[in-house]
Chain A
Amino acid sequence: MTVSYENSKVIFQGIKAAGITSLSALPETWLGLLLQQADKDPDVTMIQVAKEEEAIGIAAGAYFAGQPHVLLMQNHGFLAAINGIVSLAQLYGIPLCMLIALRGHWGEPYPWHTRGGIVTEGVLRALGIPFEYARDPAQVGRQIREAYTFSLSSLSPVALLLTRDLMEEPL
């Protein structure tokens, strides 16, 4: 498995093109190349967390401060952050634009990712979090911009699921 450098770059450019210059993240393999670019970009503030639920609080702080912000995490990190999503973001009407690496789904070779991958969509539906799949590098920039716009207008968490098609080089 090789993470796509080109598509990681496209996603990062999509984030910047959406006017977002602050991001919180917990590094994981699919997000690694993207986060390396964020980390060395002087125009971007990257806050690396110890656990994904922290990023929900940080995103709320950024929102109160009027700072466009995006959260990057693996789907297992999303599962670890649910109480913050429910009892901070949804309870208070705070937008979250979450870009979630969808591990453990179609084509997944690693057993340890599979259970989280299988339940991710169902959990998003149960929580009433609008989501879309990002598969095509030609569309992902628009999808990020629209996810961010929708999070602000709905005062809600929204999720863009970064799929294997997008994040890995084809075999």
Chain B
Amino acid sequence: MLYPELDDKIVVTIMGACAQELYDLGHKDNFFYLQHAMGLASSIGLGLAMHLPAERIVVLDGDGSVLMNLGTLATIARYRPRNLVHIIFDNGSLLSTGGFDSHTTSGTTDLAAIARGAGLARVSAVDSVVDFGEAVIDAFNSDDLSVIVAKVAAVGPNHYGMDLQLAENAFRFKRFIHSRRSHRSAGLLGLPRDRGQP
């Protein structure tokens, strides 16, 4: 459901199920998989968003990663890049590392409330596929920073591995962004269709 929407976006995912499931749907050069350095996907997204105002940046994050870098929510809120959509899949589990409960299990910790408290204005919490779809469409149609906390089941793929070296991913991702900039400056690409003011 989300995948076709990512074609014209710059996408950063965390490690584990998030990265693998996106890769298995079909790798594209506008996807960067952060296979380690937990917590920093959102920071990469912030760095991209602040320096690529004409692009739409999507971060696919997880509860375990966000809990490792809660300060990022405050930093993102402070600078409020309007072209960033931060999606946090909250499975309440450190699934990729043995399935230990994360702090969000059973609603103990409410990431959406933390995000709002950090100063993020547009935060939605969803727990069904339909609501998720609506939240995503709303975020992509808006011209503002959006956070979506999506409760999901703690299930992941039955395999891990990519035919893509880490540095190769970084090189191709950077080259993709560079080519978009070149095309844009040559007038071959308009602003993303869902962006309002340039």
Contacts and interface: CB of A to CB of B under 8 A. Distances in A.
21 contacts: A22-B51, A47-B50, A48-B75, A49-B75, A50-B71, A55-B43, A57-B40, A57-B43, A60-B40, A60-B44, A60-B47, A61-B43, A61-B50, A61-B51, A65-B51, A66-B177, A87-B36, A88-B36, A88-B40, A93-B171, A94-B170
B37 A87 contact: yes
Interface in A83-99: 83-84, 86-88, 91-94
A57 B46 contact: yes
Interface of B: 32, 34-37, 39-52, 69, 71-72, 74-75, 78-79, 166-167, 169-171, 173-174, 177-178, 181
A29 B40 CA distance: 26
B37 A56 contact: yes
B167 A93 contact: yes
B187 to A, nearest CB: 19
B51 A62 contact: yes
Given A61-B49, A62-B47, A88-B34, A53 B170 contact: no
Interface string A53-92: 1111111111111110100000000000001101110011
Contacts, number: 114
B96 to A, nearest CB: 14
Q: Which of B44, B52, B79 has the most CB of A within 10 A?
A: B44
B75 A54 contact: yes
Contacts of B166: 91-92
In the complex, the 6 A-B pairs of residues with the closest C-beta atoms, listed nearest first:
A61-B47, A57-B43, A50-B71, A57-B40, A65-B51, A87-B36
B170 A92 contact: yes
Contacts of B74: 50
A45 interface: yes
A64 B74 CA distance: 23
Given A65-B51, A66-B181, A88 B71 contact: no
A93 B170 contact: yes
